[in-house]
Homo-oligomer: A and B are copies of this chain.
């Protein structure tokens, strides 16, 4: 924790999360997963108007931010919210927005 560093860890953390949420496609995925526990990316490809490689990138960003996790299941991959980090995100945003 360097001294001259003005920005707090929480500010950095919530900015990191917000950045990951800063695209409509990614919010679509997050909302879906917050409603139905899991989904397969194939389902998303069918519905979303983007190439599967692009979707893959978006999912990777959500994964890198810790918001979702993917579990290999036969030929497909099952995506779910990362419950632990999701709770953390809830708390962080609550902290920054509610007061």
- Give A71 Cβ to nearest chain B Cβ, in Å: 22
Measured in the bound complex, the distance between the Cα atoms of B26 and A19 in whole Å is: 11
The 0/1 profile, CB within 8 Å of B marked 1, for residues 34-69 of chain A is: 110000000000011100000000000000000000
Q: Which residues in B have their C-beta under 8 angstroms from that of A4? A: 49
Q: Across the interface, do B34 and A12 meet the contact criterion of CB distance under 8 Å? A: no
Q: Which A residues are within 8 Å of any B CB, using their own CB?
A: 4, 6-8, 11-12, 14-16, 18-28, 30-31, 34-35, 47-49, 89-90, 93-94, 96-99
CB-based closest 9 A-B pairs: A19-B22, A18-B21, A18-B22, A18-B18, A11-B27, A15-B24, A7-B24, A15-B27, A22-B22
